[in-house]
Amino acid sequence: MARSVIDIPDLSIEELDRLMDTAEDIMAHPDRYSERCRGKKLATLFFEPSTRTRLSFEAAMYELGGNVLSVTGAGTSSAAKGESVADTVKTVSCYADIIAMRHPKEGAALVAAQNATIPVINAGDGGHCHPTQTLADLMTIRREKGRLTNMTVGLCGDLKFGRTVHSLIQALSRYEGLSFVLISPEELKVPSYVKNDALKRRNIPYQQSTNLEDVIGDLDILYMTRVQRERFFNEEDYLRLRDSYILTPEKLKGAKQDLCIMHPLPRVNEISVAVDDDPRACYFKQVLYGKFIRMALIIKLLEEGRA
Ligand code: CP
């Protein structure tokens, strides 16, 4: 089985740090990397909507000199005829060298990795995890704060279905001196398995709150998230919860001057556009760094496959 990245624990802390180092080097010297994947093909299999993840993977592969094969939307491939994920990736393994896959079902990326003969990168599986968004998030924090240690990290919004939150907690919980503030409505709290595996097991301090204003002044990082409409069983609940938290310049008055405001995007209404001009807003930097860190990951997995 080829080396795949399905979840954050698939990468050691040293590998996370080296991927960020490589991404920094690519940013500084893009010409040195422009032929690294010449002759290689990335297949992007996206069975759920995406703007950033798919396009950044594709831009990443083109900037490495490689090519891209793409499936966008469940209706445009033989998945619509009932083909399984296993058969799909066995087929794609005949045409491509590496796969980035997004799928609405939790665990689909793992099934893909178990059946493909080429590396599979999980580009988001249902409400489970989204490891490459976390790589972009870690790189953003490291660049903005100069460290990944000794901080208070607030995560706010839909912490139940927000897969980027689950992966980010898993990753950050491996660095020293962090504490977490988990801000959500009662119904959208971080799942127990994430709290147990990442926080309780390591004795990492965390508190849960329903009120952003009460805690905003304590935070070094504020990671806002969208309420994930597509994961709700009924529209009524979504409508009731969707505007639970809206970050505005007014609410930021109580925040630290060096707060780092993050969001994996897309945003709906969680951050007022008036916040975009605040120098603490980092969410479009996350978008940019996402391309470079995905370049670093593609290089790593393809080179390990050759070794
Ligand atoms: N952050 C993220 O996954 O964005 P997309 O859904 O646009 O890929």
Q: What is the pLDDT of residue 305?
A: 83
| Catalytic member of 130, 142, 163, 263 | 130
Tell me which of 3, 18, 52, 189 is the catalytic residue: 52
In this structure, the answer to whether residues 110 and 241 fall within a common structural domain is no
* 128 is known as an active-site residue: no
pLDDT, residue 282, reads: 98
Domain count for the chain, please give it. Answer: 2
The single-letter DSSP state of residue 271 is B
Catalytic residue, from 40, 54, 102, 263: name it. 102
The per-residue DSSP string of 232-261 comes to -S-HHHHHHHTTS--B-TTGGGGS-TT-EE
> 191 Cβ partners below 8 Å, 6+ apart?
160, 166
pTM (2 d.p.): 0.95
Give the range of the structural domain holding residue 147, as residue numbers without chain letter: 131-286
191 and 45, same structural domain? no
Whether residue 1 is contained in a domain is answered as: no
265 CA → ligand 1 middle, Å: 6
75 and 188 share a domain? no
Instruction: Say whether both 75 and 144 belong to one domain.
Output: no
Indicate whether 74 belongs to any domain.
yes
Averaged over successive runs of 10 residues, the pLDDT of the chain (307 residues) comes to 95 97 98 98 96 98 98 85 95 98 97 98 95 98 98 97 94 97 95 95 97 97 91 84 91 97 96 98 98 98 87
* Nearest residue to 160 (alpha-carbon basis) of 71, 226, 86: 226
pLDDT of residue 125: 96
- From 53, 55, 263, mutation site for ligand 1 pocket: most ligand atoms within 8 A of C-beta: 53
Q: Is 118 helix (H, G, I), strand (E, B) or coil?
A: coil
Same domain, 140 and 66: no
DSSP 192-222: HHHIIIIIITTT--EEEES-HHHHGGG-SEE
Does one domain contain both 274 and 297?
no
Q: Is 102 marked active-site?
A: yes
Residue 145 is a catalytic residue: no
Nearest to 134 by CA among 190, 179, 174, 184: 174
Give counts: helices (H), strands (E), the chain: 10, 9
- Residue 79 belongs to domain with CATH number: 3.40.50.1370
Residues 199 and 302 in one domain: no
Quick one: 260 and 302 in the same domain? no
58 and 182 inside one domain: no
> Residue of the nearest CA to atom 1 in ligand 1?
264
